[in-house]
Amino acid sequence: MSFDYEQDFDNINFRENPEKYRVGRGEQGVLLVEPYKSEILPHWRFKTQEIARESSEKIYQLFQSYKENDDFIGMDMARKFIQMGYTRARRYANYKGGKKYDEDGHVNKRQIDEEKAESARIFEEKWKIIRTDKKYLEKKKDHQKNFG
């Protein structure tokens, strides 16, 4: 099921209303779902390898905390931020300033930034761990079965 962008995100606390959350694909809704966005976003950074390592570790700790509290939405949102750390760092690794397209809509030439590529790799490691976590996968399946 797709992420539901029609909801009134300004007035929904998804911790109190987990039935309204839809997993969606990839990173859908990562910057909309509260209170998780406010809990995770301040830790999301990838400018350097050191910053990416600290960021991915902190977000992974949040994932573990949500897991301990049986909070699937928190787990899924942490997964989305980790995934987004990978995809955004990869974008900046491939294209100067993260700009894939020029003003005319043509793809810019790739200019590999090794620092950002390593940042992406750091996030990718955590993403692989999370997306294969047995409890996460069980909770995801249950949530989708019960709420779509």
**Mean pLDDT computed over every residue of the chain:** 95
- What is the rounded CA–CA span in Å between residue 14 and residue 47? 30
| Per-residue pLDDT tens over the stretch 38-73 | 999 999 999 999 999 999 999 999 999 999 999 999
In b/e form, how buried is each residue of 27-61, taking b as 16+ CB within 10 angstroms? bbbbebbbebbebbeebbbbeebeebbebbebbbe
Q: Tokens at residue 33, please?
A: 């779902």
Q: What is the pLDDT of residue 66?
A: 98
Residue 76 has pLDDT above 80, yes or no: yes
Q: What is the pLDDT of residue 39?
A: 98
* Alpha helices (runs of H) in the chain, residue ranges in sequence order: 36-40, 49-68, 72-94, 114-131, 134-147
- What is the rounded CA–CA span in Å between residue 7 and residue 5? 6
- For residues 114-124, average pLDDT: 96
Q: Which is higher by pLDDT, 76 or 4? A: 76
Residue 86 has pLDDT above 90, yes or no: yes
Instruction: Choose the weakest-confidence range: 3-12, 81-90, 113-122, 137-146.
Output: 3-12
Residue 1 has pLDDT above 70, yes or no: no
Phi (first) and psi of residue 99, to 5 degrees:
-95, 100
Q: What is the pLDDT of residue 53?
A: 98
Question: CA angle, 126 as apex, 123 and 131 as ends, to 5°?
Answer: 120
Q: Is the peptide bond before 42 cis (omega within 30 degrees of 0)?
A: no
Q: What is the pTM of this model?
A: 0.93
**pLDDT confidence bin for 105, thresholds 50/70/90:** very high
DSSP codes, 53-80? HHHHHHHHHHHHHHHHTT-HHHHHHHHH
**pLDDT confidence bin for 2, thresholds 50/70/90:** confident
Residue 103 DSSP SS3: coil
